[in-house]
Structure 1
Amino acid sequence: MKLLVFGKTGQVARELARRLPDARFLGREEADLTDPAACATAITAADAEAIINAAAWTAVDKAEAEEAAATVVNGDAPTAMARAAAAKGVPFLHISTDYVFDGQGDQPFAPDHPTGPLGAYGRSKLVGEEGVRAAGGNHLILRTSWVVSAHGTNFVKTMLRLGRERDTLRVVSDQIGGPTPAGAIAEALITAASKMIGGAQGATHHFSGSPDTSWADFAREIMRQAGLQCHIEDIPTADYPTPARRPLNSRLNCDSFVNDFGVSRPDWIDTLPVILREILMG
């Protein structure tokens, strides 16, 4: 399976690299997402059976002040990639986010639920989704949430650091979602790419970890498994203001991805020890 992957240092890209030693990975120095035309050219020139875009602007708060720049990276670049992939007749797989929804209610969002981003990051990702669909090729838009791993900056690594430094942490308890191991996302994308190369059709699907939980309860489980005696105090989102509004409801209905590609939601509680061991060893 000849795959071309955009991204090298992100959480999912690094997990893909572990599993795809023969794939070609393009970092910023080879395909800068601030230059959508260059990204399209890389696809046109590549000998690939499928394209995976694992690169993105993920600085949610920074996007509020730099929405135009975030939209180029998250919107214009994936659109250009998808058009180039469609022109070559190869599948294009793209990672998106729960932030395209408004975060209202307490039911999991289905892939066809109306979108309504709360901020610049979500709007930029929605532009990308719309562009990928409009390109007309065989594509997969895989929305996910709360990505964690032993790499980069994420909630697990932050909680471990703070849990060692403090006796008590105040953590938001009214935002609910599914923590999703980056390794599981990588495996889901590889499975989907293989099936799409074989003729399966993509579409928009959801993939997040199970069970759904709050940030506060997620933090408690991290402390428990890491053996840290750090008390987690529940607070509402209103007590933890950020430049970008966070969705209260990040639950995702993942049934269609299970049905179409046979990939079930990963159990983040069972996967967490693997991530913790890698962080602590590393």
Structure 2
Amino acid sequence: MKLTRFSFAACWAMLVTASAFSTTAHSADLLERIKEAKVMTIATEARYAPFEYVENNKIVGYDVDLMNHILAKSLPGVKVDQLDLPFQGILPGLDAKKFDFVITAVTVNKQRVDHFAFTAPIAESTVALLKRAKDNSITSPDDLSGKVVGTQTGSGQLQVLQAFDQKLKASGKPGIKEIKQYVAFDEAYVDLANGRLDGVAQSLSNLGPLIKARPGVFATLPEMLGPKTYFGWVGRKDADSASLVKLFQDGIIEANKDGTMKALQQKWFGFTMNVPATPMPAPAL
């Protein structure tokens, strides 16, 4: 078939338009693709009350309410596909791009912040020691020498507990007899109540509601096991995810400044926390 000058020009224009469309589609970042698809896939661990847990076949909690508050303002009309996963698979899954973002309580530490993009703090995650209320053999963290203490596999609490064990040994004490690791904290609480553990290393913000729900069963030590730390939400540390991380970061800081965060903390924890309304501080852990 012979191409006329007109048909050649028309074909060329079509190719240029298609190329421009392809380039635009390819250059759209994660946030733009979410807006276009009107759906965002997030990961959470729904066995971490009161941050997130399942009630009447629905994931509820502090993180869920804070997320919905932010999305109602920033991404109206976008549906959230929320995956409930074991904590141990959440950060590897984010790395593998199995979902867009992590909205669950993740303790910031140096290793994680080097690899992932954390939002501003959503709550304090400083680690305390949960014990049985009537166990008078543990009155300070030093009493954990020779004891069996549980915590969650792969968690920031595990890192704090292991560091505290090394501190005990460095001071000439025997150290913790055994650190038992669990997939979820609920299993550790059961073993503690039944006497199979002497203590559980967990973030203080989680323990207030637990103690209130089971009066006379559990208590905490007044002294913390590690340095002050914070929970944040997590995205991938790349240019593609940068605008989505910023959207959540800006929303968290605004919710902190306007009182929404404290109102949600009062609702879910029964107390409020003074967390900085800034990007995540450099971790001490």
If asked which structure has higher relative contact order (CA below 8 Å, sep 6+), I would say: 2
TM-score (norm 1): 0.29
Bigger Rg over Cα = 2
Give the structure-2-normalised TM-score. Answer: 0.29
